[in-house]
Amino acid sequence: MTQTTLSLTAVRRRVRPSRTLPFLVVGLLLAFLLVFFVLPVLWLLLAPSKTAGEVVRDNPLSFGSFHQIGTAWRHLFAFQDGAMSRWLLNSAIYSGGSLILTLAVSVPAGYALALTKFRGRKTLLVITLVTMIMPQATLVLPIFLELNRFHLIGTVWSVILPFSFYPFGVYLVYIYFGSSLPGTCCPPRASTAAPSGSSSHASRCRSPNRWSDWSRSSASWATGTTSSCPISCCRTASSSPSRWA
């Protein structure tokens, strides 16, 4: 009996497929992707250290000299009488202005939609959700017509305002305030003893399925309610019952 068991174990070991081949294939694929994507970037970083002749003549991945790097840097910022400095400043103005305006609009809007009740709230939620899922190409012409109507074409606002249009930011703030503040989703409990249906509700809220959490949040957004209980609120309520007492 023992010999039969040992022979069966030896046969299973021989039949069992080796795990070396999958790891080898994955390693070769990652090595190919590394060479394909990283080598051009490495050549681009080393090219300013060489002159034009050295770029053609020397090894593509060889290093030239630090003196040539300084020369290339001076040539870069001397291009068109310092146009590079102006471009960097414009980029900082456009990105910083768009960020500040987006935060100034998205945070109050999401906070108000999550924690206040007013007439037309559900309509605003649906419009924001529809706008969020619309392709960006469909908004190019309306935004251009609005900017042209207010004579903003050719100004700094023609770049800042389109980048500040970010309905997904309102959605994120809405979900954050609707799930993080106590009392906005989970009802308070009068005592530490849980009601009959609260245990199943809490276990459902603590489910690790992130897709279901996102679906409930989207449903509450579309219906204009905060009945969907996100994970963080239920976890807070269940972990510290005295807080809700």
Report residue 6 as tokens.
């040992």
pLDDT band at 14 (very low <50, low <70, confident <90, very high): low
Question: For residue 181, what is the DSSP state?
Answer: S
Report residue 177 as tokens.
């305030």
Mean pLDDT score of the chain: 75
1: helix, strand or coil? coil
pLDDT band at 131 (very low <50, low <70, confident <90, very high): confident
pLDDT band at 210 (very low <50, low <70, confident <90, very high): very low
Report residue 241 as tokens.
């019952």
Of 95-104, 126-135, 199-208, 227-236, highest mean pLDDT: 95-104
Cβ neighbours for 124, distance < 8 A, ≥ 6 positions apart: 113
Average pLDDT over residues 119-145: 87
Question: Per residue in 139-152, is it b (16+ CB within 10 Å) or e — as a string?
Answer: eeeeeeeebeeeee
Report residue 33 as tokens.
């992707």
122: helix, strand or coil? helix
C-alpha to C-alpha distance for 36 and 41, rounded to whole angstroms:
10
pLDDT for res 91:
93
Number of Cα atoms under 13 Å in the Cβ half of residue 116: 11
Q: Minimal CA–CA distance to 234: which of 195, 207, 196? A: 207
79: helix, strand or coil? coil
pTM for this predicted structure:
0.57
C-alpha to C-alpha distance for 101 and 98, rounded to whole angstroms:
5
Of 11-20, 47-56, 83-92, 223-232, highest mean pLDDT: 83-92
CB 107 within 8 A of CB 99: no
Average pLDDT over residues 228-238: 43
CB 94 within 8 A of CB 159: yes
pLDDT for res 52:
83
Average pLDDT over residues 180-192: 49
CB 75 within 8 A of CB 138: no
pLDDT at 66 over 80: yes
